[in-house]
Amino acid sequence: MTLLHFYRMTISPTNIDLKLINALLAALIVFFMVSSQTTFAATADPTGAATMQVLGLLGGSPATSSSTTTSVATPTTASPVGLGSSTTPTTNTLAPTTSSGIGQATSLAPSVPTAPSATANAPAATISPQTPQFYDYSANVNSQVFGANLFTGAFTRAGATQFNPDYAVAIGDQIQMRLWGAFEYDSPLTVDPKGNIFVPHVGPVFVLGVHNQDLQPLVDSSIRRVFRANVYSYASLAAAQPVRVFVGGFVNRPGLYDGTSMDSLLHYLDQAGGIDLNRGTFLNVQVKRGNLIRATFNLYDFLLEGRMPLIQLADGDVIFVPAIQDTVTVLGLADNAKVFEFSDQSRGLEDIVRLAKPTSEATHVRITRSIGTTKDVEYYPLDKIGNINIDDGDQIEFTSDKKPGTISIRVEGEHLNTQQEFVVPYGTRLGTVMQQITYSDRADRTSLQLFRNSIIERQKLLLDATLKRMESSVLTARSGTAEESELRAAEAALMLQWVDRAKSIVPTGQVVLANGDNIKNLLLESGDVIRIPAIDNMVLVSGEVMFPNTVALDSHKDIEDYIQTAGGYSQDADTSRIVIAHRDGSFEDSSLNEGIFSSGPTIRPGDEILVLPKVEQKYRQIFKELATIMYQMGLGARILMKY
């Protein structure tokens, strides 16, 4: 029989005074707890909350009941009941044997707050920031605007949430709560719209706006007000609040973007495609909340010094990019040859130099100013730019205005000097250097070779131009018939393959010194290589011969004798085109020396005899097409030809 049934059977509220009822019921409760020999642990309602609910239902004074139940709930021995094993907040009741009666009485009190259900503390659905539809970042990658490479999609990826000590708890944040000891609890709690988290058996704890570093002391103090001993707590931020932030102003794709309150400013700007490089500013990016500007960011601080202040964003915040300010273009010998932005109406040239970082080769700076319809040019040494100002739209170019002092020449091959590198004054001539060279006995003084870096570049340009003309002639050749078109297409494919291989050829940069009127007066350049070959009495026979080989020099042999020594001509050889290449870089064509009284070119030591291939003209296809046309004409005219 429950207390409430006993109350209903024995007492009629209409006949007995209400105060007497309250006193009698309180006595019955105390008698029941003593007779059942029930002991309470420190976690089983030390404040007498259940007794206060019953007395409040009957109209009694909570203050009087609290003092009574506190003395009863003070633990004297260890509880035999496992009170700390369950994680459900409502498992521990005041009187397990009379839960039916007390539960009925409690259900009649509309003003008594009940513990939230398990779903109330369930973690909120996490909104993972998603990259918007694909955006082409190639314009940012290839742009000459300083800072454009910030926005290439790298900041759009969602990463692990990192909370700094100054992070302020916001609505929607998740706090991982752990209690252990006499009472155990482990579950994430979500900050509700009122800024509270509901801790089981403790009640609501206001955490809105509390800094991360102050969260643990606040939770500890709240727990200690209820659990005075044997219960310990640990609270940490588990997940930041999912937010949606507006990105507007001069960006490539203004809109509303998802993220968390801990994501950086660059995360949202990158989702919006970055700052509009022609209209947006990098120096004054604003974060607004309502009508207030919460913070401004200078992205140059991040690019140049690595400083990016963290700001905690909230749902509905606006990231606004104002209009671009003054700009200056940097060209020439600088590590950061970019378009820079500055906020002042006039900026000192020294500030731009620090941003542009000229290379060690730069000595002067050229400033091009556009004032109205007039364009002015100024030129200054880098060590005299202290009082020069730069205005909007100016163009700065760093140049090297150095006068050459000395140059380096290298002499290789058959000489007896102890060094191969010679440092000579600028303007030194070939004859001056050769006077310092002591030749060896094997040196071929008549076949000096000179290799120059500037000639390599010129030869490469000429070779590329020749190959381009050949490629153009192959691709634009006309065909009269379908068969000829197929034949030309096959030939064109082979020619294009040959052209691709020829493009990979690196010229030697050799200067032909043969037949020069006065080679001793040839001016030398820095990096020139002079090579003195050895007299080896060898002749190389190559090209369209049966067995290309190196043959010993014989003064009694002519070109035909050397070719016969190499096995004679091949089937594809053009016997009328034979080239002799000398080691000094000169060439001779045997066809130019043909004649009755000509003995042919003279073969010298180290020469190369090159037999060129024969180029056949393809008339076979033309004759076939012509015969086909004539046959069709004969059939049409009924002409019978007899042989």
Q: Is the pLDDT of residue 220 over 50?
A: yes
pTM over 0.85: no
Q: Are 179 and 226 in contact (CB under 8 A)?
A: no
What is the C-alpha separation between 603 and 609, in angstroms, rounded? 9
Cβ atoms 413, 448 nearer than 8 A: no
Contacts of residue 273, Cβ cutoff 8 Å, sequence gap at least 6: 135, 137, 151, 251, 252, 253
How confident is residue 22, by pLDDT bands cut at 50, 70 and 90?
low
Taking the C-alpha atoms of residue 129 and residue 253, their distance in angstroms, rounded to an integer, is 17
Q: Is 282 helix (H, G, I), strand (E, B) or coil?
A: coil
Q: What is the pLDDT of residues 71-104, one digit of tens each?
A: 333 333 333 333 333 333 433 433 333 333 333 3
d(CA 261, CA 315): 8
DSSP string for residues in 377-413: EEEEEGGG-TT-EEETT-EEEEE--PPP-EEEEEEEE
Token digits for 598? Answer: 């000509």
425 band by pLDDT with thresholds 50, 70 and 90: very high
The 3-state DSSP composition of the chain as helix, strand, coil percent (nearest 5) reads 30, 25, 45
Question: Over the range 304-327, which residues count as b (16 or more CB within 10 Å of their CB) and which as e?
Answer: eeeeeeeebbbeebbbbbeebebb
Choose among 230, 289, 217, 194: nearest CA to 75.
230
Share of the chain above pLDDT 70, in %: 70
pLDDT band at 370 (very low <50, low <70, confident <90, very high): confident
Rounded (10°) angle between helices 3-10 and 99-107: 70
Amino acid at 433: V
* Nearest of 494, 579, 497 to residue 540 by alpha carbon: 579
The reported pLDDT for the residue numbered 451 is 92
- Beta strand pairing status for 346-348 and 174-181? unpaired
DSSP 259: E
At 395, the amino acid letter reads: Q
Predicted pLDDT at 44: 40
- Residue 632: CB partners within 8 Å, gap ≥ 6? none
Residue partners of 343: CB distance under 8 A and separation at least 6: 283, 284, 325, 326
Predicted confidence (pLDDT) per residue in 156-184, tens digit: 876 555 666 667 888 888 888 898 888 88
Dihedral (Cα; 618, 620, 622, 627), 10-degree rounding: 170
Provide φ and ψ at 545, rounded to 5°: -125, 165
Q: What are the strands, taking DSSP E only, across 441-581? A: 449-451, 510-511, 529-532, 538-543, 549-552, 573-581
Element (H, E) at 563: helix 559-565
pLDDT at 69: 36
Q: At what angle do helices 49-58 and 62-73 cross, to 10 degrees?
A: 150
Q: Which of 25-39, 40-54, 287-301, 583-597 has the lowest mean pLDDT?
A: 40-54
Label residue 398 by pLDDT band (50, 70, 90). Answer: very high
- 21-25, 570-574, 623-627: range with highest mean pLDDT: 570-574
Give 18's pLDDT tier (boundaries 50, 70, 90).
low
Q: Which of 241-250, 280-289, 569-578 has the highest mean pLDDT?
A: 280-289
Q: What is the DSSP string of 131-158?
A: --S----HHHHS--BTTGGG-SSTTSS-
Average pLDDT rounded to a whole number, residues 215-222: 87
**How far is Cα 89 from Cα 122, in angstroms, rounded to an integer?**
13
pLDDT number for residue 556:
85
Percentage, residues of the chain above pLDDT 90: 20
Only one residue has tokens 């091959």, namely: 413
Structure tokens given for 32: 């029941």
Q: What is the pLDDT of residues 492-525, one digit of tens each?
A: 888 788 778 878 888 888 888 876 667 888 899 9
Residue with tokens 């800094």: 211
pLDDT of residue 324: 93
**pLDDT value at 55 more than 80:** no
Q: What's the whole-number average pLDDT of the chain?
A: 75
| Domains within the chain, CATH numbers bracketed | 3-107 (no CATH), 143-154+242-321 (3.10.560.10), 174-239 (3.30.1950.10), 326-399 (3.10.20), 407-511 (no CATH), 536-643 (3.10.560.10)
For residue 250, what is the DSSP state? Answer: S
Nearest to 197 by CA among 237, 227, 165: 237
